Amino acid sequence: MSDWSVRSLTIKELPSDERPREKLAARGAASLSNAELLAILINTGSRGESVTTLCQRILQESGGGLRGVMKRDLDSLTEIRGVGPAKAITILAAIELGRRIAQLTPEERPQIRNPEDLAVIFEPRLMALDHEQLWVAVLDTKHRLERLVPVYQGSVNSAQVRTAEIFKEAIRANAPAIALAHNHPSGDPTPSADDIALTGDLERAARVLDIELIDHLVIGDGRWLSLRRLGLGFTAT
């Protein structure tokens, strides 16, 4: 007999507004808490406890949140109630991947020298979507890629996109430069009037913030266009 109080709850059994996978798809990975990201990895909770609640407890019982989890080994993770070897191994594998990414040298990160370099990064992520998404590439002083951040989903125009959201990750990382890309689900990458207006607004904001906006790509179906190269929205230099 099914009983919520005695069996594990999977992500699919959570209320729709509590499902971290759906939240990630709708808002991007950056919008999820540490517990929600862990919940996606381990998928199921413990007896009478949802997977998100279990992950919140894992972080609490580790002391120091993610930093505490990173200090645990397989044996100490499985000492947490509800965490068996399979869950513990999944968590440890994800942590190790994070460590290896953090240890990448700047030379191993792609350098953005031209719009073609940006297209290589953004086309695979954006060209096949049936809805618009806007992404930010956060760059270092040599225009090497630091991180990619999905910041908006929906109609990409200057009236709806918040400037603060575009620059939030760059300010947090003290990054000197960013690049933008968004897609046109129609497949035609021709920049719209809204695209041009948004680029102009963001370039003016970037100058105030002392952050360089190096380009804004529009991704279509197998084609893309650079607003910088076209001279649209950017101040001539």
Answer yes or no: is pLDDT of 1 > 70: no
Q: Are residues 22 and 70 in the same domain?
A: yes
SS3 153: strand
pLDDT at position 7 is: 44
Q: How far apart, in whole angstroms, are the C-alpha atoms of residue 163 and residue 171?
A: 12
Q: How many domains does the chain have?
A: 2
* Per-residue pLDDT tens over the stretch 178-201: 999 999 988 899 999 999 999 999
* Per-residue pLDDT tens over the stretch 135-169: 999 999 999 998 888 888 876 665 577 888 899 98
For helices 34-42 and 20-27, angle between their N-to-C axes, nearest 10 degrees: 120
Q: Are residues 55 and 73 in the same domain?
A: yes
Q: Which domain holds residue 91?
A: 8-102
Judge whether 112 and 118 are in contact, CB under 8 Å: yes
* Residues ≥6 apart with Cβ < 8 Å to 109: 140, 144, 145, 146
**0.75 surpassed by pTM:** no
Q: Are residues 226 and 117 in the same domain?
A: yes
* Per-residue pLDDT tens over the stretch 37-61: 999 999 888 887 888 889 999 999 9
Q: Are residues 192 and 138 in the same domain?
A: yes
Q: How far apart, in whole angstroms, are the C-alpha atoms of residue 62 and residue 189?
A: 48
